[in-house]
Amino acid sequence: MYLKGPVGQILCLEKEVVVLERNRLLLSPPLGCFFSWGFPDNSCAFGNYATDKVCMTFAVCESLCDWGETLCAACPNLTTVITAGTSAVVCVWDVAITKDKLTHMKLRQPLYGHTDAVTCLAVSEIHSVIVSGSRDLTCILWDMEELSYITQLAGHTTSISALAINELTGEIVSCAGPLLYLWNMKGQLLTCNEASCGPQADILCVSFTQRHEWDARNVIVTGCGDGIIRIWRTEYTRTQLPGPPEEPVSPGSCQVKGWERHLVLCQELNRSQTGSQRRFKNNPAITALAMSRSHATLLAGDAWGRVFTWICE
pLDDT in tens, 139-154: 999 999 999 999 999 9
pTM over 0.75: yes
**236-283 pLDDT tens trace:** 887 655 555 555 444 444 445 667 888 888 889 987 654 334 455 578
Cβ neighbours of residue 287 closer than 8 Å, sequence gap 6 or more: 6, 7, 8, 22, 204, 205, 223, 301, 302, 303
Res 19 pLDDT > 70: yes
Q: How far apart are CA 199 and CA 165, in angstroms?
A: 27
Cβ neighbours of residue 215 closer than 8 Å, sequence gap 6 or more: none
The dihedral through the CA atoms of 151, 171, 89, 27 has a sign that is negative
**66-124 pLDDT tens trace:** 788 999 999 998 889 999 999 999 999 998 877 666 778 889 999 999 999 999 999 99
Q: Cα separations (Å) of 199 from 1, 6, 29, 203, 227?
A: 28, 20, 38, 11, 12
Q: How far apart are CA 179 and CA 158, in angstroms?
A: 9
pLDDT at 87: 95
Res 197 pLDDT > 80: no
Quick one: which of 249, 243, 205, 245 has its CA closest to 224? 205
pLDDT band at 198 (very low <50, low <70, confident <90, very high): low
Q: Which amino acid is at 71?
A: L
Q: How far apart are CA 103 and CA 59, in angstroms?
A: 11
pLDDT band at 54 (very low <50, low <70, confident <90, very high): low
Res 63 pLDDT > 80: no
pLDDT at 281: 59
